[in-house]
Amino acid sequence: MSGRAPTATELGLIPCHTCGLVSRPPLTAGGMHCPRCNARLHLRKPDSVARCWALLIAGYILYIPANLLPMLETSSLSGTRQDTIMSGIVSLWDSGSWGIAFIVFIASITVPLFKLIALTLLLNSVRGRSAWGAEQRARLYRLIKLVGRWSMLDIYVVAILTTLVQFRYLATVEVGPAAFPFGAVVVLTMFAATEFDPRLIWESSKQERDEHE
C-alpha cells in the first residue's frame, strides 16, 4: 500500500465552482448539484483543455499586432508621431523616465507573454500526462492567477502614459490601432487561466505514475 494521499475524486468529493463548497452530493435525475447553491457540479470543468487552447491561440495571434501596430499617435507642433509599445518604452528610457519605462515593459510586454507561455506549458504537460513537477506546476498556475489579478494594470499604464505625453509635450495623443488587440490579449489570458482546470495537473501526474508501477 502506497503512502499517496487519496484524491477528492476517489473519496467522492466534488468542489462547487460557484460557491466553493466541497461536498459529497447525492445523484439526482438531473445530475449532481451543490447542496448549498444548487449549481451543477462537475468532476472536471467541461472541455477545459479545448477552451483554454482556443483562448490561448487567439491570444498568441492578437499579441503580434498588439506589439507591431502603433499604440499611441501623438500630434504636436513638431508633427505627428506614431509609437508602438516598444518604441514608446525606448523613448521613455531615452528621456530619463527609467522607472516608467520599466513598468510599461513589465506590464505590457513581459506579463502577457509570461501568461501565454506558462499556460501553454501547463496544457502541454497535461496533454502529455507528465508526472514531472506536479507541485511546481500547481504553484505556476497559482502564480498565473495571482498575476491575473493585476492584468488590467496594462490598460491603466497606457492611460497614464497618454496623460504623461500630453502634459510633457503639450500634444494631442490618441490611442492607436494596437489598443484593441492589446486589450483583447489581456482579457483572453484572464479567461484562459479561468478555464484551465488545475486538477488535471494532479490527474495526469497520477496516471503517469500508475502506468509505471
Dist. CA 196–CA 141, nearest whole Å: 9
CA end-to-end span of the chain:
12
Report whether 130 contacts 37 (CB < 8 A): no
In this structure, which topology does domain 46-212 adopt according to CATH?
Answer: Butyryl-CoA Dehydrogenase, subunit A; domain 3 (1.20.140)
- Count of Cβ atoms closer than 10 Å to residue 72 Cβ: 23
Q: How far apart are CA 176 and CA 159, in angstroms?
A: 12
174, 73 Cβ separation under 8 angstroms: yes
For residues 195 and 189, give the distance between their C-alpha atoms in angstroms, rounded to a whole number. Answer: 10
Q: What is the pLDDT of residues 113-162, one digit of tens each?
A: 999 999 999 999 888 777 677 888 889 999 988 887 666 666 666 666 66
Interatomic CA distance for residues 121 and 115, integer angstroms:
10
pLDDT recorded at residue 181: 92
Which amino acid is located at 82 in the chain? Q
CATH 1.20.140 residue spans of the chain = 46-212
Q: What is the pTM of this model?
A: 0.76
**pLDDT the model gives residue 34:** 78
Q: Which of 174, 178, 158 is nearest to 66 (CA)?
A: 178
20: phi > 0 → left, psi -120 to 50 → alpha, else beta; which?
A: left
The predicted pLDDT at position 203 comes to 73
pLDDT in tens, the chain (213 residues): 445 566 666 666 777 777 777 877 665 545 677 777 877 777 777 788 899 999 999 999 999 999 999 887 777 666 677 878 888 788 778 877 788 788 888 888 888 899 999 999 999 988 877 767 788 888 999 998 888 766 666 666 666 666 665 555 556 777 788 888 988 998 899 899 988 988 888 776 555 554 444
